[in-house]
Amino acid sequence: MKHGFIDRYSDRNSFMHRLDPRTKFVTTLLFILVVALTPPNSWLAFALYLALIATLLLASTVPIGYVLKRSLVIIPFVVMIAIFVPFFKEGEVAGSYNVWLWQVSVTYSGLQVLTNIIIKAWLSILSLIWLSSTTKLPHLLHGLEQLRMPRVMVMILSFMYRYLFILVDETMRMKQARDSRNFGGGRLWQIRTIGNMVGTLFIRSYERGERVYAAMAARGFDGQTRTLNHLNFRPVDAYFGISCGLILILISLFSLS
C-alpha cells in the first residue's frame, strides 16, 4: 500500500540536503528555542524568523505548497490546547457574549496569548518540516547518535521508522476486512469492534517484536549495539551553523531591546 513518507523530498540534492544532519538538527533546535523565548508582540522578530525559515525552505527546493499543507497539521493541536485561553485570561474585555445561561467574555491579553501560541507553533513546525524534508531519517538518526543521544533511544526511533508503515498497512488491511463484511450496527457495537481491532493490533505488534528480536539474535545480537559511522562535518557546515545561529541571536536581541 502507498503512504506519504515522513521524510518525503529528502532524497533531493541541494545545498541544504548535503549539509551534515547534525548541523541541521542543532540549527532547528536553536530556532525553536529562540522562537519560543521571544516575547509576545515582537511582530518584527516573528517576521524575521519567518523570512529566515522561508529562505531555508526555498533554498531546499521543496515545493512550497507541500510545506504549507504539511504545516497545517499543527493547527488542530494548538487550537485544542489554546482555544479556551481568550475566555479565561483576565484583562481588558474585547467582547462579551451571552451564550444561553452564561455570559462569556473574551479578553485582549487572552487573544494575544492565542495568536502567540499559533505563530510560535507554526514557525516551529516549519523548521521541523525543513529538517525532515532535507534530511533522510536514517541520516538524522546517525547524526543523533553522534550527538551522544543514547543508542537505545536511537534504536527505538529507527524501529519506529521501519515498522510504522507496516503497522499502518496492517491496520488498513484489518479495516478493509471489516468493511468488506459490512460494518454497520449500533454505535456501541462499532466501538466494540474498534476496541477489538486495537487489541489485535497490539498483540500482533507484540508478537512481531518477538520475531524481530529472534531475527536480531540469530545474527549475533547480544544486547550491545554497534554501528559504523560515516558522517563528515565539513567547513561549510560550520559556516552554515554559525551564520544561522548569529542571525537568530541578533533577531532575539533586537526583539528584547
Q: What's the CA angle centered on 102, arms 97 and 105, to 5 degrees?
A: 40
Nearer to other proteins (CB atom), residue 187 or residue 211: 211
Tell me if 159 contacts other proteins by CB under 8 A. Answer: yes
Report d(CA 147, CA 27) in Å as an integer: 13
Contact pick of 48, 114, 129, 137 for other proteins (by CB under 8 A): 137
Task: Please tell me the total number of residues recorded for the chain in this structure.
Answer: 257
Kindly tell me which of 99 and 218 has the beta carbon lying closer to other proteins.
Answer: 218
Of 114, 121, 113, 109, the C-alpha closest to 36 is 121
25 binds other proteins (CB under 8 A): no
Structure-block grid coordinates of residue 155: 534504536
Residues 173-212 that bind other proteins (CB under 8 A): 208, 211-212
**Neighbour tally for 65: CB within 10 Å:** 8
153 is an interface residue for other proteins by CB under 8 A: no
- Whichever of 195 and 209 has its CB closer to other proteins, that residue is 209
Q: Which part of the chain contacts other proteins (CB under 8 A), choosing from 94-102, 123-131, 188-196, 222-230?
A: 222-230
* Residue type present at position 165: F
| Residue at 39: amino acid letter | P
Nearer to other proteins, 159 or 202 (CB): 159
234: helix, coil or strand? coil
Footprint of other proteins on this chain (CB under 8 A)?
137-138, 141, 158-159, 161-163, 165-166, 208, 211-212, 214-222, 224, 226-228
